[in-house]
Amino acid sequence: MRMTTVPAPKIDPVVQAQYEAYPYPPRNPEDEKKRLVVGTPSALTELEHFVFAGRLPKQLKLLSAGGGTGDAVIMMAQQCQTLGIEAEVTHLDLSSATQAIAKARAEVRGLNIRFIQDSLLNAEKYGPFDYIDCCGVLHHLKDPSAGLRALKAALAPTGAMGLMVYAPLGRTGVYPLQSALRRLTNDSMSPQKKVEIARHLINGLPDSNWLKHNNLVTDHRGSDSGVYDLLLHSTDRSYSVPELLEFVASADLKIVAFSEKIKYDPTYFINDPKVLAHLPEDYFERAALAEEISGLLYKHVFYVTFPERAAQAEAKNGPDMVPYYKEFDGVTIGRNIKPNQPVKGMLPGLQVNLIMPRLAGLIMQSIDGVRTWREIYAALQERLGGDTPAWEKFWEQAEETWNKLHSINVALVRQPSQKA
C-alpha cells in the first residue's frame, strides 16, 4: 500500500490546536474491520447519478478536502476498490493528529490513498480532480468564498463537488451558546480547559435555553471533540437557502441538486390549498420557503459544478434509464406494501410519510439496478400476461413511485450502459 505525505505548511494555530487535541469526528480505526461508514454526499452511487449523468467513469481522481478523520475518503476509496474503478484518492487536511486516524483506517482496509497535510486553500497544487468532497469545512474558514474558489481551481473541466455547510434555523440555540462561551474562555486557555468549561455550562443550562430543546443538534451531548467542534470553534457561520445561492455564485458555480430533496419541497409541509395556490414558481424560492416553514434544516448537503454543465450533471429519469436503490431495501418493502399504503421512515428531524400509488409495491419489487423501465415492463408482461397494466398507466405510477423515493435520496437512475 502506497501512502505519500507532503510537509505541513504554516496554518492557523488556534484551529491547529483544536484538531490536534480533538480530531473530528471521533473514530476508532479498528471499527473498519466490521463496518464501512457511508453517507451523503460522495457515495459512488450518488456520484453516478448527481455528478456523472448516470454513467460512472472507469477512472477517477477524487479529493476529500478538509477530510478530517476520513469518513469520506475511506468510503470513496473502498467503493472504488469494490467496483473495480481505477482511482487516485487524496485526503487533504491540516491536522497531523486527525490525518493519523484517517491513515490508520486506510491501513486496516488496505486502501491506496494519498495523504497530504495542507490547507484546502492550496488544493489546486494537487489537482485537477474529477470530484471533490468537502463536508463541514468551508463554514469554518475565515473567508469561505475564498475556500470555495480554491476548490473550484482544483476541479477538472468536467468535475463537480459535494459540499456540506451549516444552515441556521435547525441550529437554533447553537450561536448564542457559542457567544456565551467566548465570554467565558479566551485563546490563552488550552482546548481541554475550554471543553471543561463548556461541559459545566451545558450541564447547568436552564430549561429556557434553546439548544437544550433542539434535538437536531446533538454533538454537545457526546464526545469532547463534538463539544469543541459545535460550540468552541474559532470560526463558524451558517447559510440560509438565499445566502447559499449567493455563496455558490461567488465562486461562479451552480447548484446541481440538494440531497434529500423532500426537505426543500414546501408541498410536503403545506397542505392548505389556499396557501398552496400562492407558492412561488422558482425552485430555489420554494426551497427557501420550505426551510423557513419547516425549521428542520441544520445543514445543507448539495452538489455543485460549473454553470455550463450544471443542467447535464444529474441523470434524468426516463423509460430507457435503469432505476436503482441506494442503501434501501426497496424490494422487500415492495413485497410487503399494500396498494395505496404509505412508505414510512425517518430522516434527521423529519418523519417521512409518502403516499404511494396503487402499483408501487409491484414496481418497487421489480427495481434491480440492471433493467431499464422498459425492460421491467416487458418482464411484467411475460409474468402477468393479460393482467399487465397498460404502459401509460405503468409509467405514470413508476414515475410517481421513483420521484417519491428519489425525494428521500434512496432511488436513483443510471444509463443502461452502466448496468451492474
Do 60 and 181 lie in one domain? The reply is no
Burial of 45-58, coded b for 16+ CB within 10 Å and e otherwise, reads bbbbbbbbbbebbe
The number of domains in the chain is 3
- The pLDDT, as a whole number, for residue 17 is 78
Give CA separation, 326 vs 58, 337, 410, in Å.
20, 19, 5
Residues recorded for the chain = 420
Domain presence at residue 419: no
**Last residue of some domain: 217, 232, 247?**
232
- The pLDDT, as a whole number, for residue 213 is 94
Strands (E), 284-409: 299-305, 322-325, 342-347, 350-355
Do 37 and 95 lie in one domain? The reply is yes
Provide the pairing of β-strand 322-325 with 411-414: antiparallel
Do 85 and 228 lie in one domain? The reply is no
Domain presence at residue 90: yes
- List the CATH number of the domain containing 27: 3.40.50.150
CA gap 413, 49 in Å, rounded:
6
Residue 138 neighbours by CB distance under 10 Å:
25
Domain presence at residue 3: no
Do 182 and 275 lie in one domain? The reply is no
**Whole-prediction pTM value?**
0.93
- The pLDDT, as a whole number, for residue 12 is 66
Do 351 and 277 lie in one domain? The reply is no
Residue type, 160: A
Do 30 and 126 lie in one domain? The reply is yes
Helices (H) and strands (E) in the chain, counts: 16, 11
- The pLDDT, as a whole number, for residue 110 is 97
Residue ranges for the chain with pLDDT beneath 50: 1-10, 418-420
Domain presence at residue 301: yes
- The pLDDT, as a whole number, for residue 386 is 83
Domain presence at residue 7: no
**Chain-centre distance for alpha carbon 138:** 14
- The pLDDT, as a whole number, for residue 347 is 83
Q: Which residue has the cell 462561551?
A: 181
Based on the number of CB atoms within 10 Å of its own CB, is 206 exposed (0-12), middle (13-18) or buried (19 or more)? exposed
Do 31 and 141 lie in one domain? The reply is yes
Give the sheet arrangement for strand 254-258, strand by strand.
113-117, 86-93, 59-65, 129-135, 155-166, 299-305, 254-258
Do 337 and 299 lie in one domain? The reply is no
- The pLDDT, as a whole number, for residue 3 is 43
CA gap 19, 117 in Å, rounded:
13
- The pLDDT, as a whole number, for residue 212 is 94
- The pLDDT, as a whole number, for residue 11 is 59
> Is there a contact between 170 and 296 (Cβ–Cβ < 8 Å)?
yes
**Last residue of some domain: 313, 339, 356?**
313
**Last residue of some domain: 281, 313, 345?**
313
Domain presence at residue 390: yes
Domain presence at residue 399: yes
Do 307 and 343 lie in one domain? The reply is no
- The pLDDT, as a whole number, for residue 343 is 85
Domain presence at residue 154: yes
CA gap 363, 402 in Å, rounded:
9
Encode pLDDT of 180-216 as tens digits: 999 999 988 999 999 999 999 999 999 999 999 999 9
Give CA separation, 11 vs 8, 41, 95, 118, 190, in Å.
8, 27, 9, 8, 18
Do 256 and 133 lie in one domain? The reply is yes
The boundaries of the domain holding residue 372 are 322-414
Do 359 and 224 lie in one domain? The reply is no
385: left (phi over 0), alpha (psi -120 to 50) or beta: left
Do 17 and 151 lie in one domain? The reply is yes
